[in-house]
Structures are given as C-alpha cells and as structure tokens.
Amino acid sequence: MIAFIDDHRDAYGVEPICRVLPIAPSTYHERVAQRQDSTRLSARAQRDVALKPEIARVFAENFAVARLGRLLPESWFR
C-alpha cells in the first residue's frame, strides 16, 4: 500500500489517496520517515535489519536451500 501511494502521490496527493485506502496519512508519513531514518524503527525491526546479512550468508552457504533444522540452533528445539 505504501508503494502504491508512493507511485501515485504526485498525481493525486497523499491525503486524497489515504481517504480512499484503509490507511491514515500519518501512518504513511511515519513509514516514509522510517525508511529514511532506521532509528525510528521498533527494536524488533532494527534487529531484523541487523540480522539480514547473517541470514543471507547462512542461506548462501547452504546452497540456497532453507531447512528449519539447519538454519536454527539445536537449542531452539529443546
């Protein structure tokens, strides 16, 4: 939905689009601000961003095959 607003905001404006879609203009503006400043993300989202390179590395080392038991530590299954 954010991408749709990004694509059409120049033609219609953010507020008119948000009146039609189920999203508040403040929500849209916050998401845009979060893209520009990652410190505005929640702690969980910041951790997810930090873990992406490690997840990609493990996935690549595993020949791009994701199997639950190989990607998660054994301690998670006890």
Q: ∠ CA(72), CA(73), CA(75), 5° rounding?
A: 130
Instruction: Report how far residue 51's alpha carbon sits from residue 44's, in angstroms, rounded to the nearest whole number.
Output: 11
Q: pLDDT digits over 20-69, tens only?
A: 999 999 999 999 999 999 899 999 999 999 999 998 888 888 777 666 65
Burial 17-40 (b: 16+ CB within 10 A, else e): bbeeeebeeeebeeeeeeeeeeee
Model pTM? Answer: 0.62
